[in-house]
Structure 1
Amino acid sequence: MEILVTGGAGFIGSAVVRALVAAGHGVRVLDALLPVVHPSGEPGELPEGVAFQRGDVRDAGAVEQALKGVDVVCHQAAMVGLGLDLNDAPEYVGCNDLGTSVLLAAMHRTGVRGLVLAGSMVVYGEGCYRCAEHGDVAPGPRRAADLDAGQFEPPCPRCGAALQPGLVDEQAPGDPRNVYAATKLAQEHLAAAWARAAGAAVVTLRYHNVYGPGMPRDTPYAGVASLFRSALARGEAPRVFEDGGQRRDFVHVDDVAAANLAALHALGTRPPGSARAYNVGSGTVHTVGEMAAELAAAHGGPPPVVTGEYRLGDVRHITADSSRLRTELDWRPRVSFREGMAEFAGAPLRV
């Protein structure tokens, strides 16, 4: 296939590009090289034969040019981060939702009928919880007063009792807790509407906590793994917020790239008008504190410091049930937590 990868010069996008080229596909990249992600203004090293076009997905002319001769699109371009400051909302909506709608309209005009969309686990808000008395419950956003008091676990919204966190599957309702999350859920709705109207097919991959070589250095936009790795590179201890007990599913970027490859191959089997979402996680649960400790030990740096700080809007626990992806698309994660962290501890970060 000839595949357009938007955002293909980014951390995840470039890993997807390498996987597609290795599988024998023709690949072209459209990337705006936003300064927050690419401070050098350069796309970095792309595999031989990959055509690079600098352009923004909000620019209809640039998108149509990039789509010429393309069979399917792998849409990775997005502005990431929490988007807690509402002053940033127009930029998030512009990059993520306006950009996606411009892309979808251009795909409709040019007859491209297949899309793999980079989604995110942030659309779920808090993960899956169970109360001993009331069964499955959905706790609301945590209160600043509780967090100030060091009460980090969300209580049962009905009785206030402690909850047991579990794995969240794709049937969980959307509950975005910040601007970024809202834009990612809107992307999914836009893509589903396009698929129905155009008789096309979209597969959304809801990434969990992606890490690996090539993460941007010293930026909260890339996630906590990048911040910890950057601190270690400076000889500093990773600073772990809350009590370090936040449960996450850390998935290696190469496994995420393999999931994109599986999704692109599956597009040809999807019925017209279909939209299907898949969690992409390793299937193993680790806490943020465990990740910091594993990374520090592998790097040979100072052990992490648990600070008790918090970011209002962060969720406590969110971990994936990725069985749908394994069953339907025959995908399996290959990189274990320990070997992935050992590699990441010594891998270069993107400047």
Structure 2
Amino acid sequence: MLILVTGGAGFIGSHIVSAFTGAGHEVRVLDALLPAAHRTPPPVPDGVDWRHADVRDRGAVADALRGVDAVCHQAAMVGLGKDFADAPDYVGCNDLGTAVLLAGMAAAGVRRLVLASSMVVYGEGRYECARHGVVRPGPRRIADLDAGRFEPPCPHCGEPLSAGLVGEEAPTDPRNVYAATKLAQEHLAAAWARATGARVASLRYHNVYGPGMPRDTPYAGVASLFRSALARGEAPRVFEDGGQRRDFVHVRDVAGANLAAMDGLAALPEGGLRAYNVGSGEPHTVGEMAAALAAAHGGDAPVVTGEYRLGDVRHITASSRRLCDELGWKPVVDFAEGMAEFAKAALRAG
């Protein structure tokens, strides 16, 4: 099978390309090499058909789709960016780019798509109140964050909440521009599938880390920022109180999830999108992750700063049971092993 991987030169995309070629698929890569993610051109894997072009370029997309059996769409701007001035770039890259790709797929008769989505489409995670059961807290107030009150309270009684795992059927509630664009990608893909009878698997990644992660930029994830600080001989700076919970999933496991999703597309119903959470199943706090990285690297212990970023959520961890049960995937890199490897791995210059 010939698979087009958009964003295939990126951190996650390059691991997916390796997984596909290792499974015997032919791979074509389309990547714009955006400066926010690539400061130097990446090496081209042997046997991969490489196309340097933007997914918003209709002609380049049409050409890249010739002869393709399926698409794995990874191309996107990621992270929170610098401020809201980044919004047009996020919408252009993520949503216009997806619309151009889907229009090209419709014209070319390509009906199988694996889409890179994100757990950020949920907003805050799943919470329960002792009095009111499952509740959905609103965005955290600036006054509470300034006062160091980081836990979202029950929206009904103001009492503390307990955090749990989010399932794919949970309501979506994107809290920042990046999250809104990822949910829009899912809606566009679902509309395309209904119109064409296609099949879509949308993979909602958790906090992906691992070898080949780019060095810190305004768009980098927290694992990259901490690892980059250690490489500079600095202590990782942990925002809030370090107690925010995430699921840190290794990039090789994410690549394996894409391979499982691609192989499982044929079993999905025509004309629909099926969402799958992709996590390790081992939630940890950001403070625990920073401490594990620092210990494995041999660097200074993390510094908890109390700072915060508007748009960040407190706890977001989700169950990946659907992906395991329906597509036969399971994570193989545990937290301790992955952090020890990442602490010593080289980072990409961009």
Q: Give TM-score scaled by structure 1 length.
A: 0.98
Q: CA deviation at 1:313?
A: 1.0
One-letter code aligned to 1:268: A
Partner of 1:304: 302
Q: CA deviation at 1:81?
A: 1.4
Deviations 1:225-258 (A, max 9, x none): 0000000001110000000000000000000000
Question: Does structure 2 conserve the Cα–Cα contact (< 8 Å) formed by 1:247 and 1:318?
Answer: yes
Q: CA deviation at 1:282?
A: 0.3
Partner of 2:85: 87
Query: Number of residues paired by the alignment?
Result: 349
Query: What root-mean-square deviation, in Å, do the aligned CA atoms of Structure 1 and Structure 2 show?
Result: 0.8
Deviations 1:63-99 (A, max 9, x none): 0111111000000000111256332211111100110
Determine helix, strand or coil for the equivalent of 1:222.
coil
One-letter code aligned to 1:76: Q
Give the counterpart of 2:228 among 199, 208, 230.
Answer: 230
Give 1:241-256 correspondences, 5 Å limit: 241-256=239-254
Alignment pair present for 1:288 and 2:294: no
Determine helix, strand or coil for the equivalent of 1:98.
helix
Structure 1 outlier segments of 4+, above 4 Å: none
Question: Does structure 2 conserve the Cα–Cα contact (< 8 Å) formed by 1:217 and 1:226?
Answer: yes
Partner of 2:13: 13
Partner of 1:27: 27
Determine helix, strand or coil for the equivalent of 1:52.
strand
Q: In structure 2, what is the Cα distance between the partners aligned to 1:116 and 1:46?
A: 22
Give 1:46-195 correspondences, 5 Å limit: 46-83=44-81, 85-195=83-193
Determine helix, strand or coil for the equivalent of 1:117.
strand
Determine helix, strand or coil for the equivalent of 1:161.
coil
Q: CA deviation at 1:223?
A: 0.5
Question: Does structure 2 conserve the Cα–Cα contact (< 8 Å) formed by 1:84 and 1:179?
Answer: no
Q: In structure 2, what is the Cα distance between the partners aligned to 1:84 and 1:297?
A: 30
One-letter code aligned to 1:313: G
Determine helix, strand or coil for the equivalent of 1:167.
strand
Q: In structure 1, what is the Cα distance between the partners aligned to 2:204 and 2:90?
A: 18
Deviations 1:256-309 (A, max 9, x none): 000000000011222210210000000011000000000000000111010111
Determine helix, strand or coil for the equivalent of 2:317.
coil
Partner of 1:221: 219
Question: Does structure 2 conserve the Cα–Cα contact (< 8 Å) formed by 1:21 and 1:47?
Answer: no
Question: Does structure 1 conserve the Cα–Cα contact (< 8 Å) formed by 2:277 and 2:322?
Answer: yes
Question: Does structure 2 conserve the Cα–Cα contact (< 8 Å) formed by 1:84 and 1:178?
Answer: no
Partner of 2:256: 258
Determine helix, strand or coil for the equivalent of 2:289.
helix
Give the counterpart of 1:346 among 325, 344, 347.
Answer: 344
Q: In structure 2, what is the Cα distance between the partners aligned to 1:108 and 1:140?
A: 38
Determine helix, strand or coil for the equivalent of 2:166.
coil
Alignment pair present for 1:39 and 2:39: yes
One-letter code aligned to 2:197: G
1:84 and 1:166, CA in 2 relative to 1: closer, same or farther beyond 3 A? farther
One-letter code aligned to 2:5: V
Question: Does structure 1 conserve the Cα–Cα contact (< 8 Å) formed by 2:81 and 2:218?
Answer: no
Partner of 1:316: 314
Determine helix, strand or coil for the equivalent of 1:256.
helix
Q: In structure 2, what is the Cα distance between the partners aligned to 1:83 and 1:199?
A: 35
Deviations 1:153-196 (A, max 9, x none): 00000000000000011011110001111010000000000001
One-letter code aligned to 1:27: V
One-letter code aligned to 2:21: V
Question: Does structure 2 conserve the Cα–Cα contact (< 8 Å) formed by 1:31 and 1:54?
Answer: yes
1:328 and 1:114, CA in 2 relative to 1: closer, same or farther beyond 3 A? same
Q: Which structure 1 segments of 5+ residues have no match?
A: none
Determine helix, strand or coil for the equivalent of 1:298.
helix
Question: Does structure 1 conserve the Cα–Cα contact (< 8 Å) formed by 2:82 and 2:218?
Answer: no
